Amino acid sequence: MNLPKKATIIEVGPRDGLQNLKTFVPTEAKIEFIKQLKSAGVQEMELTSFVSPKWVPQMADAPAIIEECLDEETRNFVLTPNQTGIDRLLSTSCRNAAVFVGVSNTFNKKNINKTTEESLQELEPIIRDLKAKNFFVRTCISTSFYCPYEGKVEIDDVLALCKRFEGFGVDELSVADTIGMANPKESFELFSTLKKALPNIMITAHFHNTRGMALANVFAALQAGVDRFDTSAGGLGGCPFAPGASGNVATEDVVFMLEQMGIETGINLRRVVVALENLQPHLNKSYESQYFKLAQLDTNQHV
């Protein structure tokens, strides 16, 4: 069995997890959530995004989040979908940028009103400039398995797109099962292909649990040599431009599985649960996390 000794968790809850919520989470609650997740051992995190508040109201407080939550110990990412977002990022102290593009043209058009090729044309000079300024650049590759509008996405198309970004000089590729349709066989095949073809770039797996296969896909990606995973505390998340997509795979579920298999993550599960408990009064939904539900049940039984 091919398993690493350690795995890195990239916590995406504060950005990807909260972005689709209809109820605005108070800025102070977001800041506390982020700080508690960091105290739980999270070393890499998507803090927020510089997007239009008109389209994603939850991210309207991005400047305040960045100001309060940057630190030297954590790699803090801010999602910047275009030049406007990059310009706003450059006015902060954050030096870790995340950009994104969909393999599917239709998804990309729905998301940012550009084809995939148009996005690449726009992003290439942006990424090269960021690298010249010594930024760490993370690229999120959406609809890497299936698209809600076009159906199955071919491995060759994903690989070709990833190679374009490798040529631009990005540091990391976060490859996403945006609508949670991938199965473990497909995950193993895609990530085996990417790891073999792109040995000098960080490959991160990003799974949604729409059909209950996220943990199985994490295991398949491990077998393919992946040791970096995007996860969201509580299983929060979902893309506003991907109909039917439910939450990201829960941080605590992934960490529990990995630790049970002897793979170190450095994450304190009890502290993650506390962070979720403190955030819950500000949400209008429950968590999609088996570990959290069992932790609550255990707590109630001992009251």
Q: What is the pTM of this model?
A: 0.95
Contact at 8 Å (CB) between 249 and 287? no
Amino acid at 85: G
Query: What span, in angstroms and rounded, lies between the C-alpha atoms of 188 and 214?
Result: 13
User: At 303, is the pLDDT very low, low, confident or very high (cuts 50, 70, 90)?
Assistant: very low
Report the SS3 class of residue 165: helix
- Residue 301: the pLDDT is 46
- Higher model confidence: residue 54 or residue 136? 136
Q: Cβ atoms within 10 A of the Cβ of 172, count?
A: 21
DSSP state letter for 264: B
- Residues facing 140 on adjacent strands: 100, 174
> In the chain, how many H helices and how many E strands?
11, 10
Q: What does the pLDDT look like over 7-36, one tens digit per residue?
A: 999 999 999 999 988 899 999 999 999 999
Structure-token pair, residue 185: 């066989």
CATH value at residue 214:
3.20.20.70
Asked whether residue 1 is domain-assigned, the answer is no
Q: Is 202 helix (H, G, I), strand (E, B) or coil?
A: strand
Position 140 pLDDT exceeds 70: yes
Cα 152–Cα 19–Cα 126 angle in degrees, nearest 5: 75
Residues 6+ apart with CB under 8 A from 81: 49, 50, 51, 99, 100, 112
Tell me what the mean pLDDT of segment 122-136 comes to.
Answer: 97
Tell me how many domains the chain contains.
1
Predicted confidence band of residue 239 (pLDDT cuts 50, 70, 90): low
HSE at residue 94, side-chain half, CA atoms within 13 A, is 35
Structure tokens at 138: 């993370």
What is the number of other CB atoms lying within 10 angstroms of the CB of residue 168?
19
- 153 is a domain residue: yes
pLDDT digits (tens, 9 = 90+) for 192-217: 999 999 999 999 999 999 999 999 99
Beta strands 146-147 and 151-152: pairing type?
antiparallel
CA distance 198 to 60: 36
Residue 2 belongs to some domain of the structure: no
Residue 100, beta-bridge partner list: 140
- Mean pLDDT estimate for the chain: 94
Q: Any idea which residues carry the catalytic annotation?
A: 239
CA torsion through residues 68, 208, 164, 83, sign: negative
Tell me which residue range forms the domain holding 46.
8-301
Q: Report DSSP state, residue 248.
A: B
How large a percentage of the chain has pLDDT more than 70?
Answer: 95
Answer whether residue 3 is part of any domain. no
pLDDT score, position 302 = 40
